[in-house]
Amino acid sequence: MKGNYFYVAVVALAWLILTAGFNLLPRSRVSTLEKRDLQRFPSFTLDSLADGSLTAAISSWYSDTEPYRDTLMELSMQFRHWEGLRLGEEHIEFLAGDKAVETQPEAEEELAGIPEELEEKQDSVKAVKAFDYADVEGEAEDIAKMSSSGIILVGSGENVRALMGFFGTENGGRKYAAAVNPYGEALGSGVNVWCMPIPTSAEFYWPEAAAKYTKRQWPVFNSIFSNLSDGVRPVDVYSVLAGHVDEPIYLRTDHHWSPLGAYYAAQEFARLAEVPFRDLSAYQADTVHRFVGSMYGYTQNAAVKRAPEDFVYYMPTEVEYTTTHINYELDEDFHVVSESHPYQGKYFFSFKDGSGAAYTTFMGGDIKQVKVETSTHNGRRLLVIKDSFGNALPGYLFYSFEEIHVADFRYFTKNVADFVDEHRITDVLFANNITNTCVPYTYSRFRKLLKPVDPADSGFSADTIPAAVKQRMLGRSYPEEGARIDWSDLRYLRLRYYDFNGQVRKGEMVCNKAIAADLLHIFKELFKARYELASVRLIDDFDGDDARSMAANNTSCFNYRTKTSGASLSAHALGLAVDINPLQNPYVKGEVVEPPEAVEFVDRSADFPHKITADDLCCKLFRARGFQWGGAWNTMKDYQHFEKK
């Protein structure tokens, strides 16, 4: 019995020590391992207390800022590292745990046509069966999740290399070729269309002892090349890279190739395109030391973190160039909701030693469109349609083309045929890593990029607030000082609508960036249905006076003001509420009617045009996107009002 009391006392003491530590020790504020600032203690407001969001935010802050967070994470990673499986003397560690997909060998695929450089490695790259990416529906973020279940580590110490398994098929390659081929026909004989699939590191460094956990990539390359039409020319960088496998052509701690690998690929493309090309003596090399890339993020494995590498990139020194950026803003589903105005910036971004973001040296990342104008005046203009592997290519082609446009196929918003005509493009290069060539999302995006733009979608856009619009807003809808919302959190919308006379008009609106995509969708649908709106103007045209705007029957969104019924800020002050045709759809509370001119429309049992009801198209569209309708409130009615929490 005494032993039991002692055991209980020890457990209780340990629990008290842990509780005291988590509550009394300093909270963590930054995670070096995760490369991010941790959550801050939330600000108190009566609204957040009432709706429960304050307690949820405090709970999230508490769990995110545990004392010694990075130390505890390091211990956890080390335990997982010790649990890894090693095979023989090759130091192979499987990171997938029970998610590992052991591929089942089937009839060996034809090896004919494999480059000579890999003939001696045939045994280690035999075809093995897993699942067909071409039959997996999903977008880019899903691919990463699937692939991360097939990551292994090879080597040890400072030479550790993380490899991501490949599971694509020849059928996927055929579908990729079928998605690229229409460009050769659509763009015509005056435009050269090139196809450059890019192998991943697994093809060249995956150990024979673990061959059943991946598939070889060459059959997919062969399938792509043999199914391209006469209007699309292949760029075989597989064979080129196979001749340089003893050089650092791939990063060890990142899923991308290295800038050196991209150099050899660009060299082969320039040779085929018959354009000038300069060797590395015409470049300045720069290095980000102690780089640990994306494979650490995927695996959270201590061995990867402890094997940093040099990220060496090359900048051209004997050519002049200017770079223009258009940044994209994405919603939570990775869809583009707005574009910035074009601005001049850098092509090569610099990062400090130890930065895990070094691969974004090129253009600063993927979520943008980039144009590079060079001093190479040869009449050749290139459009690169790429994924992130393609980011490292264009910097080697400044000596080769007078203009280079770079577009990520996942985010590009233009019709490619129209873009080629507008910019007098002479060459289009598809540069995608081999995994993306085997994914249905890629095929659907390629088809979409070649489709004509729906006329009903033109005239609708979302941008950051232009300087001229800021001038209109400042001191009217946006206060001179003290605003609780920053300019960067607002978006300027351009819309089209039908007025009460059935005429098409141009409208403008400012809203919170969180609902910009929602509003574009809603107003596009209203336009297609010829739904009538009396006016869609910035409330600044009425000097920020809500009463004047309502009296003019103006549809609007952002206005930094208090609620009609109190002193607290309105949802309009955060750009999260929209008022539609306010004259026919007034605010009503007791004897108060806003606008006063709307008294005749208070009786909602009466039948009159432009009345919003629960069955009205406008109401249905807003509710479908998660907005609340003021006409359904109990203590008051605000028939014009839709807001999103």
The answer to whether residue 73 sits within a structural domain is no
First to last CA, the chain: 57
Number of domains in the chain: 3
Alpha carbons 81 and 488: distance in angstroms, whole number = 42
Three-class secondary structure of residue 369 per DSSP: strand
In this prediction, residues 19-28 reach a mean pLDDT of 64
Q: How confident is the prediction for the chain on average, in pLDDT? A: 84
Please give the radius of gyration of the chain, using alpha carbons only, rounded to the nearest integer.
29
Q: In the prediction, which pLDDT does 37 show? A: 61
How wide is the angle at C-alpha 402 spanned by C-alphas 396 and 403, nearest 5°? 85
The answer to whether residue 85 sits within a structural domain is no
How wide is the angle at C-alpha 204 spanned by C-alphas 438 and 109, nearest 5°? 55
The answer to whether residue 77 sits within a structural domain is no
Strand partners, 620: none
The two tokens of residue 393 are: 């290519």
- Do residues 174 and 292 both lie within one domain? yes
The answer to whether residue 405 sits within a structural domain is yes
Domain final residue, candidates 391, 419, 453: 453
- Do residues 500 and 580 both lie within one domain? yes
- Do residues 567 and 522 both lie within one domain? yes
Structure confidence at residue 417 as a pLDDT band (50, 70, 90) = very high
Q: Which residue has the higher pLDDT, 141 or 263?
A: 263
Strand partners, 162: 153
Q: What is the pLDDT of residues 514-558, one digit of tens each?
A: 999 999 999 999 999 999 999 999 999 999 999 999 999 999 999
- Do residues 514 and 620 both lie within one domain? yes
- Do residues 441 and 466 both lie within one domain? no
**Nearest CA among 496, 515, 510, 362 for reference residue 431:** 362
Q: In the prediction, which pLDDT does 331 show? A: 76
Domain final residue, candidates 424, 453, 482: 453
Domain that holds residue 280: 116-453
- Do residues 149 and 63 both lie within one domain? no
> 152 Cβ partners below 8 Å, 6+ apart?
92, 93, 94, 95, 162, 163, 165, 206, 210, 213
- Do residues 241 and 353 both lie within one domain? yes
Domain final residue, candidates 28, 51, 67: 67
The answer to whether residue 199 sits within a structural domain is yes
Q: Which amino acid is at 547?
A: A
> 84 Cβ partners below 8 Å, 6+ apart?
93, 94, 95, 153, 301
Three-class SS of 502-522: CCEEEEEEEEEHHHHHHHHHH
The two tokens of residue 206 are: 């995956």
The answer to whether residue 105 sits within a structural domain is no
Q: What is the pLDDT of residues 222-239, one digit of tens each?
A: 999 999 999 999 999 999
Model-level pTM?
0.67
- Do residues 528 and 609 both lie within one domain? yes
Structure confidence at residue 36 as a pLDDT band (50, 70, 90) = low
Q: DSSP secondary-structure letter at 454?
A: P
Strand partners, 326: 369
Q: How distant, in Å, are the alpha carbons of 601, 603, 633, 641 from that of 606?
A: 8, 6, 19, 20
**Nearest CA among 202, 192, 204 for reference residue 233:** 192
In this prediction, residues 189-198 reach a mean pLDDT of 96
Decide: 441 and 140 in contact? Cβ < 8 Å: yes
pLDDT surpassing 80 at residue 302: yes
For helices 218-227 and 170-187, what crossing angle results, to 10°?
30
**Nearest CA among 529, 467, 468, 532 for reference residue 498:** 532
- Do residues 385 and 507 both lie within one domain? no
Q: In the prediction, which pLDDT does 138 show? A: 36
Q: What is the pLDDT of residues 624-633, one digit of tens each?
A: 999 999 999 9
- Secondary element (H or E) of residue 569: none
Q: Per 3-state DSSP, what percentage of the chain is helix, strand, and coil (rounded to 5)?
A: 40, 20, 40
- Do residues 446 and 462 both lie within one domain? no
In this prediction, residues 259-266 reach a mean pLDDT of 98
Residue that has been written with the tokens 């809603």 in this structure: 522
- Do residues 54 and 135 both lie within one domain? no
Structure confidence at residue 24 as a pLDDT band (50, 70, 90) = low
Structure confidence at residue 55 as a pLDDT band (50, 70, 90) = low
Residue that has been written with the tokens 């040296």 in this structure: 361
Decide: 165 and 150 in contact? Cβ < 8 Å: yes
The answer to whether residue 275 sits within a structural domain is yes
- Do residues 397 and 483 both lie within one domain? no
Q: Which residue has the higher pLDDT, 89 or 137?
A: 89
Q: What is the pLDDT of residues 554-605, one digit of tens each?
A: 999 999 988 766 668 899 999 999 999 999 999 999 999 999 999 999 999 9
> 286 Cβ partners below 8 Å, 6+ apart?
312, 313, 314, 315, 350
The answer to whether residue 89 sits within a structural domain is no
> 261 Cβ partners below 8 Å, 6+ apart?
241, 244, 249, 250, 392
